[in-house]
Amino acid sequence: MPNWDRTIPDDDRKCGYRLERTPPDGTFTAIVTCHELIGCYTHYWGGRTMPCERPDCPACNANSPTRWHAFVSCWNPSTHDHVLFQCTAKAAVAFEEYQSSHGTLLGCHFRAHRPKRRRNAQVVIDCRPADLTKLRLPAAPNIMQAMAVIWQIPRAALVADEAVRGAPLVKALSDRMAQAFDNPADGNGRCKPPEVHT
Ligand SMILES: [Zn+2]
């Protein structure tokens, strides 16, 4: 006899989240599902975005510049997409101000756009509170774990309690992110392995 269930088992829920950025010509609008933003320094190095691994970072050692990026999880009430949103430190100030005046980022209905309408032009974020009496937001993912999946950080490079359950194993024996070539840059598709100079 089948054992029917109206709740999806935790193990079978999706573990991957798409990473969204502000489009060059258009807007990105969603409601934040996490309480606070989280960020880290990244490099665009070897044809892809990777987190900075200071103090022992191959990209830093090669004088690659770093940029700090903020990440929040957010939900689009029209499409029901639950994704991660990435922006620069400058753009994220709007989130920080909202967070300090409302005590949380949860329920922040934001609209991100680039007034100059160019790729990589400065992002401006407008925030207002969503009417949470009419919405039930999904629970926020663990952003660090979700980013580890997006960056395809080899499991060996994660400390044990941050290990990503269900994350695909990277086909590399190395424990260095820099050498994990199967790591798409901001979701722009797969890239070639970095060139090895001998
Ligand atoms: Zn670095």
What would the DSSP string read from start to end of 93-137? HHHHHHHHHHS--TTEEEEEE-TT-STTPPPEEEEEE--TTS--P
Find the 177 Cα to ligand 1 centroid distance in Å.
11
Q: What pLDDT does residue 14 have?
A: 56
Find the 60 Cα to ligand 1 centroid distance in Å.
4
Find the 34 Cα to ligand 1 centroid distance in Å.
27
Please give the mean pLDDT across all residues of the chain. Answer: 79
CB 87 within 8 A of CB 112: yes
DSSP labels, the chain: -----SS--GGGS-----EE---SSSEEEEEE-SSS-EEEEEEEETTEEEE--TTS-HHHHTT--EEEEEEEEEE-TTT--EEEEEEEHHHHHHHHHHHHHHS--TTEEEEEE-TT-STTPPPEEEEEE--TTS--PPPPP-HHHHHHHHHT--GGGS-GGG--TTPPPPS-S-S-GGG-----STTS---PPPP---
Mean pLDDT, range 61-72, rounded to an integer: 94
Q: What pLDDT does residue 21 have?
A: 92
- pLDDT interval class at 91 (50, 70, 90): very high
Higher pLDDT, 150 or 59: 59
Name residues with Cβ closer than 5 Å to ligand 1, which is an ion.
Answer: 52, 57, 59-60
Find the 29 Cα to ligand 1 centroid distance in Å.
31
CA dihedral 48, 69, 124, 31 (to 10 degrees): 100
Find the 35 Cα to ligand 1 centroid distance in Å.
27
Find the 26 Cα to ligand 1 centroid distance in Å.
32
- pLDDT interval class at 63 (50, 70, 90): very high
| Among the ranges given (37-41, 134-138, 173-177, 186-190), the one the predictor scored with the smallest mean pLDDT | 186-190
Answer yes or no: pTM beyond 0.75.
no
Q: Is the pLDDT of residue 51 over 50?
A: yes
Find the 132 Cα to ligand 1 centroid distance in Å.
40
Find the 4 Cα to ligand 1 centroid distance in Å.
49
- pLDDT interval class at 69 (50, 70, 90): very high
